[in-house]
Amino acid sequence: MNLQFVFMQLFNGLILGSLYVLLALGLSIIFGMLGIINFAHGAFFMLGAYAAYTITSYIIPDYWLALISVPILMAAFGSLCEIVLFRRLYDLPPLYIMLLTFGLMLVLQDAARLVFGSMGVPFGTPKSLTGMVNLGFMYYPSYRLFLIAVTSCAAFAVWLFLSKTKLGCIIRAGTDNPKMLEALGINISRTMTLVVGLGTGLAGLAGVLAAPIQNVRPLMGMDLLVDCFVVVVIGGMGSLGGSVVGGLIVGQIIAIGVMVWPPMANTLIYLFMAAFLLVRPRGLFGRESFHE
Amino acid sequence: MERKWHAILTACLLSIAFFSLVNTPVVAEPLKISVLTDMSGPYAGITGANVEAAKMAIADFGGKILGNPIEFVYRDHMCKPDVANQKAKELYEKEQVDVIFDCPNSAAGLAVANQAKIHKKPFIAIGSGTTRLSGPDCNRYTFKWAYNDYMLATAVGLWAADNLGKKWYTITADYAWGHDLLHHFSEALKAKGGTLLGNEMVALGTSDFSPYILKAMNAKPEVLVLLNAGKDAVNSTKQAMEFGLKKKVKIVHALLFIEDIKASGDIFAGDYVTGAWYWKSDNPGSKEFVEKWKKQFNKPPNWMNAATYSAVTQYLKAVERAKSKDALPVIKALEGHEFRDLLANPGKIRAEDHMEVGNAYILRAKNPGEIKEDWDFFDIVGVIPPDKAYQNPKDTGCKMDTAE
């Protein structure tokens, strides 16, 4: 095992981690605000990838346009889902809305299969980002570096938005105590719409970014979703910083696992989660109110 | 007196009634054919249309055989062995089918073979590739059609060792099918005196193959063999391209269909794979079948579809030769039969292990510039004859029960 390979692998872990971060951020804020685990999140990610495919193959063959427009489209779609579907179930026990998101996942996956076929569709790396970059100590595909950069920017932007704007402040208060927020006269239902939109938009962005690496398939979200639950649990339910740190940790665990003992790479994260939860049941930055 | 007349008349009438009953011809028993395949699972895009292929074969017989109608049913097993087992039972018992075709997924195929043995009704396996069906797990009622894992690995393996290079690196999907293929590929390489520089076992459904690709790159092989299928094949090849490995080595696949290439653009360009058939072939009846298929589906058939059409056609011809739809006469008509059709030219159903053998084709995926017609994604670059592509029946480990 040479040093170059180790570095490459750590970078690959970062790639995987970046996708986890984007997805887990959305899962986490939706969980904090609505108190539900959104099973449709993986399907939103898949839909983002298909949206990018549709735009680049049928409308305007420009990856950059897709990169900008898909998250916005997906955010609108998520908000619509909230207004039309989720909103009706807030007063019922949380199990109902969880079932709804589960059903939504199945519907979206089958819709993708009906429209685009079960075999998946091709998605090339954008022309300007093909090839490798010399980093001095190794060569690395430029698209992957780009992915890390975009994810970092997106995570930073979400953090800025949540910590420095009034709206972000309302969302953070909402994830903490929605009832109190309502008592203070804040229009909570509008905030809910916004939060689901934001989470879905991030999932859509992850979909656009993942498409050139993995191609686009109806079930592409399923594989990532389960890992994302692990990320959110390790990071701490409803904690945004936890999503970021948890995502990066899980990405690295898989990458290092592959170097050490490949057949166990994907199982390692569950072992890690189990061990971690024994020591810290609420996850890294989880708040006590959720579980303890 | 009158009574006597009455008695005679009644007797006459009764006897007429009785004889007329006896002489009515028995109501015709239809022949019932069934396809059990994956229509909504991971291979749905490849095998789902096998149902249509079987229908076409039946239609070509005018929907009748030996003067009786042919009935057709199909079931979806979603690629799950337990579901396949239960559906096969249902088909043999409740639907009273005379034969089951196809059944992708090796574990599912073995389950159906067992049901065929229990119910003493034929099963003609197409999609399930395991060599066990015509090896240790063979039985009198089970046939294996068009290909098996040994042939997939050996044909392209022998050819690659001769034409592409003798230093190989393998990346293997970590489950029974992958292990099986790895064994057969290694054997082929050994026979040609090549070396296997290394192998990576990769969990099914891994989305990032880049570390394995990097390890392969460090080993500097001449040929990279990807022993996986479907999305794993797509992801591993895509990442080999991304890291520039495709420029340095030739890539050989275990299984690749025209649908895979359609679904993933030009990433497979220049790669090699074994196929049991290609839609540009000029075997007898091939062109007509492709024409019909294109008219109906706007795309050519893949080799699984062609294999299904061939298997159903050959089965119906065996029923005609046996002049009966009963299992044993039909099985006898199939055993040792030699034929030529769209798939196999020539083909033979070996009596020793019930393996249908024909030529194996070495296919090379065309580069984008070479594709003149949509769906014409392969060139046939080599043909491996049946005696090289398939194990000698003595070595398969099959003990065929020949009891009546």
B262 near A CB under 8 A = yes
Residue B364 backbone dihedrals phi, psi, to 5 degrees = -115, 125
Q: How far apart are CA B206 and CA A227, in angstroms?
A: 12
Its pTM stands at 0.84
Sign of CA dihedral B263, B268, B272, B278: positive
Q: How far apart are CA A180 and CA B382, in angstroms?
A: 74
Q: How far apart are CA B314 and CA B293, in angstroms?
A: 19
Q: What is the pLDDT of residue B382?
A: 96
Query: Quick one: average pLDDT of A149-154?
Result: 94
Among B211, B239, B260, select the one facing A259 at the smallest CB separation: B211
Residue of B nearest to A142 (CA): B242
Q: How confident is the model at residue A83 (pLDDT cuts 50, 70, 90)?
A: very high
H-run or E-run covering B60: helix B50-60
A201 near B CB under 8 A = no
Q: How far apart are CA B11 and CA B125, in angstroms?
A: 57
The strands making up B347-349's β-sheet, listed across from edge to edge, are: B338-339, B347-349, B356-357
Q: What is the pLDDT of residue A72?
A: 97
Least Cα distance to B234 among B212, B263, B275 occurs for: B263
The answer to whether the Cβ–Cβ distance between B211 and A16 falls below 8 Å is no
pLDDT tens across the length of chain B (404 residues)? 555 656 655 554 445 555 444 444 444 689 999 999 999 888 888 999 999 999 999 999 999 999 999 999 999 999 999 999 999 999 999 999 999 999 999 999 999 999 999 999 999 999 999 999 999 999 999 999 999 999 999 999 999 999 999 999 999 998 889 999 999 999 999 999 999 999 999 888 777 888 889 889 989 999 999 999 988 999 999 999 988 899 999 999 999 999 999 988 889 999 999 999 999 999 999 999 999 999 999 999 999 999 999 999 999 999 999 999 999 999 999 999 999 999 999 999 999 999 999 999 999 999 999 999 999 999 999 999 999 999 999 999 999 988 77
**B173 with B227: CB under 8 angstroms?**
yes
Tokens of A21: 């971060």
The answer to whether the Cβ–Cβ distance between B205 and A223 falls below 8 Å is yes
Helix (H, G, I), strand (E, B) or coil at B16: helix
B96 near A CB under 8 A = no
Q: What is the pLDDT of residue A157?
A: 93
H-run or E-run covering A209: helix A188-214
B212 near A CB under 8 A = yes
Residue that the structure tokens 């024909």 belong to: B358
Using an 8 Å CB-CB cutoff, list chain A residues near B238.
Answer: 213-215
Residue of B nearest to A266 (CA): B203
> How far, in Å, are A57, A232, B156, B274, B381 from residue B278 at the CA level?
28, 48, 15, 10, 12
Residue that the structure tokens 């017989």 belong to: B61
Among B45, B200, B208, select the one facing A118 at the smallest CB separation: B45
Using an 8 Å CB-CB cutoff, list chain A residues near B297.
Answer: none
The answer to whether the Cβ–Cβ distance between B242 and A122 falls below 8 Å is no
Q: What is the pLDDT of residue B4?
A: 61
Q: How far is B68 from chain A (nearest CA, A)?
A: 38
Using an 8 Å CB-CB cutoff, list chain B residues near A12.
Answer: 208, 210-211
Sign of CA dihedral A194, A195, A200, A202: positive
Tokens of B198: 């290394």
Tokens of A147: 């992915």
Q: How confident is the model at residue A68 (pLDDT cuts 50, 70, 90)?
A: very high
Q: What is the mean pLDDT of chain A?
A: 89
Residue of B nearest to A143 (CA): B242
DSSP state for residue B13 in the 8-state scheme: H
The answer to whether the Cβ–Cβ distance between B234 and A117 falls below 8 Å is no
> How far, in Å, are A237, A274, B49, B280 from residue B152 at the CA level?
48, 41, 22, 20
The answer to whether the Cβ–Cβ distance between A215 and B44 falls below 8 Å is no
Q: Which of residues 215-234 of A touch B (CB under 8 A)?
A: 215, 217, 220, 223-224
Please list the alpha-helical segments (H only) found in B61-175: 81-93, 106-119, 149-163
Q: Which amino acid is at A79?
A: S
Least Cα distance to B252 among B230, B231, B223 occurs for: B223
Q: How far apart are CA B205 and CA B146, in angstroms?
A: 27
Q: Which amino acid is at B76?
A: D
Extract the runs of DSSP E, i.e. beta strands, from A72-126.
Answer: none
Q: How far apart are CA B147 and CA B184, in angstroms?
A: 14
The answer to whether the Cβ–Cβ distance between B231 and A215 falls below 8 Å is yes
Task: Report DSSP letters for A247-260, one per residue.
Answer: HHHHHHHHHHHHHH
Among A23-32, A69-78, B250-259, B264-273, the range scoring the smallest mean pLDDT is A23-32
Q: What is the pLDDT of residue A255?
A: 87
Task: Report DSSP letters for A21-40, one per residue.
Answer: HHHHHHHHHHHHHH----TT
Q: How far apart are CA A258 and CA B174, in angstroms?
A: 13
Using an 8 Å CB-CB cutoff, list chain A residues near B375.
Answer: none
B248 near A CB under 8 A = no
Number of neighbouring beta carbons within 10 Å of residue B91 = 25
Q: How far apart are CA B75 and CA B86, in angstroms?
A: 11
Least Cα distance to A120 among A107, A105, A109 occurs for: A109
Using an 8 Å CB-CB cutoff, list chain A residues near B202.
Answer: 262
Among A143, A259, A262, select the one facing B202 at the smallest CB separation: A262
Residue of A nearest to B242 (CA): A141
Least Cα distance to B156 among B363, B345, B359, B343 occurs for: B363
Tokens of A124: 């090339």
What is the gyration radius of the CA atoms in chain A, in angstroms? 19
Q: How far is A276 from chain B (nearest CA, A)?
A: 24
Q: How far apart are CA B64 and CA B79, in angstroms?
A: 31
Mutate to test the interface with A, among B202, B210, B236, B262 (most CBs of A within 10 A): B210
H-run or E-run covering B346: none
Q: How far is A149 from chain B (nearest CA, A)?
A: 18
Among A117, A144, A214, select the one facing B235 at the smallest CB separation: A214
Residue count (chain A): 292
